[in-house]
């Protein structure tokens, strides 16, 4: 009988595959306070799709943990790695450093019997195509420039992206212009929408100038156009695809960032639905299975920005589709958040595993209740409160086995660039 604890794995898979195709997440923390020590390894199933919610207050190790999952997938034996790809939505601009080995924590790695590894050839960094030069000038290695062709979104989606209520005159003007351009041109640009707005005699000057400035600002972020790579053509199995959207953090860039995430999520979903059909046809001997779009682990930092609980953004619908229907086409989702009560309740309730680092308040924990109904809230709270104060200590709830463990995340093999700034040199 293995000593490892395996989470997320079905009984029949466990009997058939044992610990094959699992991710080494960390070790079981046994004992309390000063007495606490690390015991058995905790492994997570990578054979099937999962929804793993990661939460915890600032600086507790969420983003670091996201990198651990990506490493584990990229370092699987070829047989399994060839079926999976990792897509990371990087809101902080910290995951490019996975190309480099974690020399900073060599001592810690050594205590765990591990060695630093850089994943230079397995980590691909994507940035908005017009920002590529700036990244390169800052010494950040970039592999691809990506873009959003404006025509892939409906008039409705554009309104949602700009957070315009449907009855707002700006929304009506924008939708009219987009629908007109769509009728006349297949691949239109932002400038085409602006021209259509200018030409519309039914709009007053205030509406016209507001819409024009909104669209001009959106265009200035260097995201819209046809020039970027087609993500689905370059995303390969066994890779960690890092979409760095960190330079789209400001209030003005926010809608553009969510359009980009909406596009990536839609792409992944449709490509996997198609690939799943090919896999089924191959299984019944109708076709010979060629290279196809791999199963995806979509890891999203600060996920409450993309599927918030209190309003709709343009990435809400595509992400909720993955939440509700992602299992069948083989898409796993790993949303990370400081505040589980700020993320859409559907995301929380569909999670089959939760990793919670220390939380700020009991109300955050209450938000998790939807997914934890089989557990006693008081028990969960006790587990969280008695966590050692180490960075990377969490509790893991596994719906599959209905068990809770305290866990210490293993150290990263690749470098984590997310260290907070300190005011000394
Ligand atoms: N398992 C771990 N082992 C060793 N160090 C860790 C571990 N987890 C986190 N750390 C350290 O803690 C720092 C903060 O972790 P991380 O960036 O993951 O925080 P976070 O929870 O994402 O915070 P925020 O909410 O502010 O984004 C890391 O830079 C790293 O140095
Ligand atoms: Mg973080």
Dump pLDDT digits (tens) for 292-310: 899 999 999 999 999 999 9
> Which atom of ligand 1 has the smallest separation from the CA of 410?
1
Q: What is the 138 CA–ligand 1 centroid distance (Å)?
A: 23
Asked if the structure places residue 373 within a domain, the reply is: yes
Q: What is the 305 CA–ligand 1 centroid distance (Å)?
A: 20
Both 252 and 346 in one domain: the answer is yes
Asked if the structure places residue 311 within a domain, the reply is: yes
Shortest CA distance to 27 belongs to which of 19, 37, 17?
37
Shortest CA distance to 179 belongs to which of 218, 144, 153?
153
Separation of first and last alpha carbons in the chain? 51
Q: How confident is the model at residue 53 (pLDDT cuts 50, 70, 90)?
A: very high
Q: How many CB atoms lie within 10 A of CB 350?
A: 19
| Stretch 236-241: mean pLDDT | 96
Longest CA–CA span in the chain (Å) reads 77
- Provide CB contacts within 8 A for 285, sequence distance 6+: none
Both 330 and 375 in one domain: the answer is yes
Asked if the model's pLDDT at residue 180 lies above 90, the reply is: yes
pLDDT in tens, 316-343: 999 999 999 999 999 999 999 998 999 9
Q: CATH number of the domain at 366, please.
A: 3.40.50.300
pLDDT above 70 covers a percentage of the chain that reads: 97
> Which atom of ligand 1 has the smallest separation from the CA of 68?
1
Which of 165-169, 231-235, 364-368, 370-374 ranks highest by mean pLDDT?
Answer: 165-169
Q: Give the Cα separation of 394 and 263 in Å (integer).
A: 32
Shortest CA distance to 76 belongs to which of 237, 192, 200, 220?
237
Residues with CB under 6 A from ligand 1: 56, 58-64, 338, 391-392, 409, 411, 416, 418-419
Q: What is the 344 CA–ligand 1 centroid distance (Å)?
A: 24
| Stretch 47-70: mean pLDDT | 96
Asked if the structure places residue 277 within a domain, the reply is: yes
Q: How confident is the model at residue 379 (pLDDT cuts 50, 70, 90)?
A: confident
Per-residue confidence (pLDDT) for residue 356, from 0 to 100? 95
Provide the β-strand partners of residue 366.
none
Long-range contacts of 150-153 (CB under 8 A, 24+ apart): 150/188, 150/189, 150/190, 150/193, 150/224, 151/182, 151/185, 151/186, 151/187, 151/188, 152/263, 152/266, 153/259, 153/262, 153/263, 153/314
Mean model confidence pLDDT for the chain: 92
Q: What is the 122 CA–ligand 2 centroid distance (Å)?
A: 22
Helices (H), 8-117: 11-17, 62-74, 78-81, 106-111
* 7, 65, 261, 353, 419 from 106: Cα distances, Å: 28, 17, 35, 30, 16
| Domain interval for residue 168 | 151-219
- Provide CB contacts within 8 A for 230, sequence distance 6+: none
Both 36 and 88 in one domain: the answer is yes
Both 161 and 268 in one domain: the answer is no
Q: How confident is the model at residue 425 (pLDDT cuts 50, 70, 90)?
A: very low
Per-residue confidence (pLDDT) for residue 1, from 0 to 100? 43
């Amino acid at each position: 009988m293995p000593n490892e604890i395996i989470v997320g794995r079905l009984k029949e898979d466990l009997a058939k595959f044992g610990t094959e195709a699992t991710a080494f997440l960390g070790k079981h923390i046994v004992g309390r306070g000063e007495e606490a020590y690390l015991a058995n390894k905790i492994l997570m199933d990578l054979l099937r799709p999962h929804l793993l919610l990661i939460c915890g207050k600032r600086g507790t190790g969420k983003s670091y943990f996201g990198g651990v999952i990506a490493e584990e997938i990229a370092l699987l034996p070829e047989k399994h790695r060839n079926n999976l790809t990792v897509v990371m939505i990087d809101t902080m601009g910290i995951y490019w450093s996975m190309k480099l080995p974690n020399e900073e924590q060599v001592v810690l790695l050594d205590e765990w019997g591990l060695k630093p590894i850089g994943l230079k050839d397995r980590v691909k960094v994507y940035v908005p195509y017009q920002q590529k030069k700036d990244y390169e000038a800052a010494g950040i290695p970039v592999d691809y420039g990506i873009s959003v062709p404006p025509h892939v979104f409906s008039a409705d989606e554009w309104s949602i992206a700009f957070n315009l209520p449907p009855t707002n005159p700006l929304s009506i003007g924008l939708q009219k212009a987009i629908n007109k351009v769509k009728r006349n041109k297949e691949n239109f640009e932002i400038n085409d929408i602006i021209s259509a707005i200018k030409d519309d005699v039914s709009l007053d000057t205030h509406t016209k100038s507001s819409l024009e400035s909104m669209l001009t600002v959106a265009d200035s972020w260097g995201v819209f156009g046809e020039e970027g790579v087609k993500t689905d053509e370059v995303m390969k199995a066994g890779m960690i695809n890092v979409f760095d959207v960190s330079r789209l953090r400001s209030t003005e860039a926010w809608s553009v960032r969510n359009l980009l995430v909406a596009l990536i999520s839609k792409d992944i979903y449709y490509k996997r639905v198609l690939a799943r059909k090919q896999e089924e046809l191959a299984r019944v001997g109708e076709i010979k299975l060629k290279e196809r779009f791999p199963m995806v682990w979509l890891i999203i930092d600060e996920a409450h920005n993309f599927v918030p609980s209190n309003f709709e953004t343009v990435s809400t619908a595509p992400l909720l589709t993955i939440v509700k229907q992602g299992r069948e086409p083989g898409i796993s989702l790993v949303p990370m958040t400081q505040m589980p009560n700020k993320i859409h309740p559907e995301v929380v309730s569909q999670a089959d595993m939760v990793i919670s680092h220390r939380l700020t308040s009991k109300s955050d924990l209450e938000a998790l209740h939807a997914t934890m109904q089989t557990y006693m809230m008081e028990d969960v709270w006790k587990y969280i409160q008695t966590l050692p104060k180490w960075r990377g200590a969490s509790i893991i709830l596994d719906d599959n086995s209905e068990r809770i463990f305290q866990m210490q995340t293993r150290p990263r093999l690749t470098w984590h660039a997310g260290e907070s700034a300190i005011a000394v040199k």
